[in-house]
Structure 1
Amino acid sequence: MLFNSYEFLFFFLPVAMGIFYFIVKLKSKRLAVPWLVFVSFIFYAWWNPVFLILLGASVCFNYGVGYFLLQKNYHSYKNIKPIYLLIFGVFINLLALAYYKYFNFFILNMNTLFNLSIPSENIILPIGISFFTFTQIAFLVDAYRGCVEEYRFISYMLFVTFFPHLIAGPILHHKEMMSQFESDKLLKVNWENIIIGTVVFILGLFKKVIIADHLALYATPIFDAAAQGNVPQLFEAWIGALAYTLQLYFDFSGYSDMAIGLALLCNVRLPVNFFSPYKAKSVIDFWRRWHMTLSRYLKDYVYIPLGGNRYGEFRRLRNLLVTMLLGGIWHGAGWTFFVWGGLHGFYLIVNHTWRKFEICLPNIINWGLTFVSVVTAWVFFRADTLQTAILIIKGMFGFNGISLAENLAYRIPLLSGFGFDFSGFMTITNLSLTKVVPWILIALIIVLLLPNTMELTAAYKPALRISAKNIETKYVQYWQWKPSYVWSIALGIIAVLSILSMSNVSAFLYFQF
């Protein structure tokens, strides 16, 4: 089920929240948490009921392993050392993930490398498997480290399956969430949470269905044309890359907002997962703002266990590269994701090395270098094959030629001697430049000059690790949300436009990961 669907907005959500608040009125935690677990399973089953078995088995297995790791006498339990139990638990999780997500990719590459003809399997990727698998691996590791308290099984089930985050994150940490599920605050009708949760959700819905889905109309044709062997020239390549860069931003940012808003309706605060990453002036800063819970996960459970920065500069940079390569592979089974992760690993190595020289460049140059680097890497992230990505990258840097409008041939005839042709700006698609450019410019203005949703609502702390201290002073006075007729009218218009635009429902881009 999609947050941006009529069945979710007008059936699932009213029923789920209506009964939840009825239970809240009864002050029954024994009913509230199981109800949220039940509706979360219904939410997941709406896509494919068969995979409820996988989700349920994963939850039960990991809780069982975690339970034994948490026992005070587990050191002597049947002479099984805790490290072996941890390895077993992590191995089973990764085995399931590898089968569903990477098995056919492995077979394909084996066939290519060794000229084999092993048939691939008809495997359907369970939606959200990467997120609930990584969440539980972190739980097992922390249980082994002694950083986890014992919780009720039903609370653990809600921690893993809670529907606002189940499909595409954020990746939760048990320490942040378990206490909320056990708290009496869960059983209060908090009108501030309801109002702010609704505001955040509406803003996220608008980002997805109005902005992201519209930008997809410009990104998809160019990438599809390149995949068919058409050669994008300079302007087409940049329009495709920028349109996708902004589509992904508003798609993922919109989902993150909706997840935070929905959780707040249940008196639960999720961690911030997205904080204006395209405003970053370095790649290091970008990863502090983009998919923040994944960055935290990779740091705590990959980079630091590899040694972090404890064994010299060379190993630190190596660990950065390995971490980002694994982060790339986590996103999908394909060499394009591997290259995307490798590029960001390379960017981070350059960034950390450059800082040692203590050379300060103007902020606009730092931002420009960072933005172009990120956009270039996104091409690999979006393209179906390396060949398609390289074709678009070559176009972005002028290697496929530069085409201008016909009428410029008479106004600037000298350009024809420098490799320019005058067959038109858009030659491989039927897109209109006059329609594409305004959308890209408007999206860039929103991304770069306006506050994000967390800044707009920071005074009400809608998410974990966000407060008024996180926002710039200029935003407080002019942009912060507050109860007013202006904001009510604006949000009403945004909500109506979003709902009317939901006739063509599209899945969130991160659902495929």
Structure 2
Amino acid sequence: MLFNSYTFLVLFLPLTLVVFQLLRRGNQRMAMGWLVAMSLLYYGWWNPDPSKPWTPFYLILICTSCMINFWIGRFLAAHTFTPKGRLILGLGLTANLGVLFYYKYIGLFERTMEALTLGKFSIPDVVLPLGLSFFTFQKIAFLVDAYRGKTSKYNFLDFLLFVTFFPQLIAGPIVHHNEIMPQIQRTVSPSRRSVDLSVGISLFAMGLFKKVVIADNLAMVANPLFGAVAAAGGRDLTMLEAWAAAISYSLQLYFDFSGYSDMAIGAARMFGIKLPVNFHSPYKATSIVDFWRRWHITLSRFLRDYVYFSLGGNRKGPILRYSNLLITMLLGGLWHGAGWTYILWGGMHGLFLCVNHAWFALRKKLSIPALPKPLAIFLTFVVVVAAWVPFRAGAFELAANGSAQEALRATKSILASMFGLNGFEGWPNAAASEVKFSWAMRAMSCVLIVWLMPNSQQVMRRYFPSIGLRGLLAKTSMPGPRRFWQWRPTWQWTVFTVILVMGSIYEFDKVSEFIYFQF
């Protein structure tokens, strides 16, 4: 059930919200129980093969997993830093990662072994359950924190809602138990509820517009250009086409993920729950280090706290620090997709981070001044755009009849064209072009939106729409002087929100999944 579908917008969300508000007036626990039931309905609505009857298997899978992890967490909380606790923690982590490996990576394992051995493996095809990567990380963090004595005594209903809460279930943010569970257990005043509702609806409308009106239209430029390279007998793009393809996809992914993050945070806020901020103008980053403080913030936090620090972080010298960075980012790439092109993307970012940290150290040692901010933003953007090429090519590897060779060939071709190795041609004539030149130019001009306009979190900042916003805006006054573009509960903003929703509904003829639903 997509956020950008009539079923969700007209039926599921209003029904869930109205009944929740009515129940909350009398009994907070009943309201939370209703939210759990509707979250499970939201998840169970999914049918991986519409041509076959619906199956409850995946709903049973997530409920059983939640039950087992809850009781393991209770055991670990009573056996912190003990040999028995360490053994049970290891078994719990192995079980969670084993389920993730089977459903997400068994196909990659099969293809890789066939390529290495030239043999044929008959591993049954499996369907990746929705959101498995996201809620697996949440449960892993919960178990590790329970072993470290950082969890409170929660009941099973609270834990189940923490894992299955529908706004963040499918594609994040990757929430932490100490962020969500205290909010589940508290009651709020009627005045606070009205603020939550108005803030949530406005933020949800902004995200819906980003996804439906901007991201899906950018896909109409990026997809044909990437497809022209990957097609059987495909051609190399011209230099201008290659940059149009890479920038259009970079912007499509930006608005798709930013839109989903706004919709998730907005939907949760309608129910009085704040989710952590997950996206903060990453294309305004002045370095790769800064980029990963702004892009998929909750994934970066998980990788830092539970992978990078567990490997030793930067405590054992620069060589091991850079090794730990590379390993962490390779695993981050693998988390995004069961393909070698995703691993390549993660490795590229790991290398970029190593170079970035080495440059910072050299600047400090030699007192070299920082690059001017506009130049730093531009160079970072170019590097990030180039890295998105293998990320997008991963779709060719994971396609039904795709292969790593095909995806890597497309990656090599587009990167070569971008940097002039296939010539310096401009746009081809109309007979040879995949998309209109004017469409491509409009698509690439959207970069001005992400560079010059405030993001939705900044627009809503006076009402603190998400957890962690204060830290991101620490260098500026909070809340600071009111700007004309900052949201407030007025009739003008109500009209603007209605316009966003109407514009989104107008584009509903091409409803598509969010890109991060694939991960």
Say whether the fold is shared (TM-score over 0.5): yes
Match of 1:494 in 2: 500
Distance 1:251 1:17 in 2: 25
Q: Which moved more, 1:246-255 or 1:359-368?
A: 359-368
Residue from 430, 433, 438 that aligns with 2:437: 433
Contact 2:81–2:148 (CA<8 Å) still a contact in 1? no
Match of 2:78 in 1: 71
> Compared with structure 1, are the counterparts of its residues 427 and 219 closer, same or farther at alpha carbon in structure 2 (3 Å cutoff)?
farther
Match of 2:513 in 1: 507
Residue from 170, 173, 178 that aligns with 2:173: 170
Contact 1:324–1:342 (CA<8 Å) still a contact in 2? yes
Contact 2:80–2:148 (CA<8 Å) still a contact in 1? no
SS of the residue corresponding to residue 278 of structure 2 reads coil
Match of 2:389 in 1: 379
* Number of residue pairs matched by the alignment: 489
Match of 1:286 in 2: 291
> Compared with structure 1, are the counterparts of its residues 39 and 310 closer, same or farther at alpha carbon in structure 2 (3 Å cutoff)?
same
How far is the alpha carbon of 1:187 from its aligned partner? 8.3
Q: Are 1:345 and 2:350 matched, yes or no?
A: yes
Distance 1:32 1:252 in 2: 30
Distance 2:8 2:371 in 1: 48
Match of 1:420 in 2: none
1:460-479 matched pairs, under 5 angstroms: 460-467=463-470, 469-470=473-474, 476-479=482-485
Contact 1:263–1:269 (CA<8 Å) still a contact in 2? yes
Match of 2:214 in 1: 211
Distance 2:189 2:496 in 1: 30
Distance 2:80 2:324 in 1: 35
SS of the residue corresponding to residue 57 of structure 2 reads helix
1:40-439 matched pairs, under 5 angstroms: 40-48=39-47, 49-71=56-78, 81-185=84-188, 190-228=193-231, 229-358=234-363, 359=368, 360-383=370-393, 384=396, 385-404=407-426, 423-424=428-429, 429-439=433-443
How far is the alpha carbon of 1:128 from its aligned partner? 0.3
> Compared with structure 1, are the counterparts of its residues 469 and 102 closer, same or farther at alpha carbon in structure 2 (3 Å cutoff)?
closer
Deviations 1:446-468, CA, capped at 9 Å, x for gaps? 10000000000000011111249
> Compared with structure 1, are the counterparts of its residues 61 and 120 closer, same or farther at alpha carbon in structure 2 (3 Å cutoff)?
same
Deviations 1:28-70, CA, capped at 9 Å, x for gaps? 1220111111000000011134310111111011101111111
> Compared with structure 1, are the counterparts of its residues 83 and 115 closer, same or farther at alpha carbon in structure 2 (3 Å cutoff)?
same
Distance 1:507 1:134 in 2: 22
> Compared with structure 1, are the counterparts of its residues 73 and 363 closer, same or farther at alpha carbon in structure 2 (3 Å cutoff)?
closer
Deviations 1:402-456, CA, capped at 9 Å, x for gaps? 3346xxxxxxxxxxxxxxxxx53x7754311112212320x21210000000000
Provide structure 1 residue ranges, at least 5 long, that are not aligned to the other structure: 406-422
Contact 1:68–1:74 (CA<8 Å) still a contact in 2? no
Provide structure 2 residue ranges, at least 5 long, that are not aligned to the other structure: 48-55, 397-406
Contact 1:186–1:268 (CA<8 Å) still a contact in 2? no
SS of the residue corresponding to residue 483 of structure 2 reads helix
Superposition TM-score, scaled by structure 1 size: 0.92
Contact 2:198–2:489 (CA<8 Å) still a contact in 1? no
Match of 1:414 in 2: none
Counterpart amino acid of 1:137? I
> Compared with structure 1, are the counterparts of its residues 262 and 73 closer, same or farther at alpha carbon in structure 2 (3 Å cutoff)?
closer
Distance 2:313 2:98 in 1: 26
Superposition TM-score, scaled by structure 2 size: 0.91
Distance 1:149 1:372 in 2: 45
> Compared with structure 1, are the counterparts of its residues 483 and 184 closer, same or farther at alpha carbon in structure 2 (3 Å cutoff)?
closer
Overall identity of the aligned pairs, in %: 46
Distance 2:321 2:434 in 1: 48
> Compared with structure 1, are the counterparts of its residues 92 and 25 closer, same or farther at alpha carbon in structure 2 (3 Å cutoff)?
same
* Segments ≥4 residues shifted beyond 6 Å: 186-189
> Compared with structure 1, are the counterparts of its residues 186 and 308 closer, same or farther at alpha carbon in structure 2 (3 Å cutoff)?
farther
Q: Which moved more, 1:427-436 or 1:449-458?
A: 427-436
Contact 2:80–2:146 (CA<8 Å) still a contact in 1? no
How far is the alpha carbon of 1:471 from its aligned partner? 7.8
Contact 1:232–1:428 (CA<8 Å) still a contact in 2? no
Counterpart amino acid of 2:437? L
> Compared with structure 1, are the counterparts of its residues 505 and 372 closer, same or farther at alpha carbon in structure 2 (3 Å cutoff)?
same
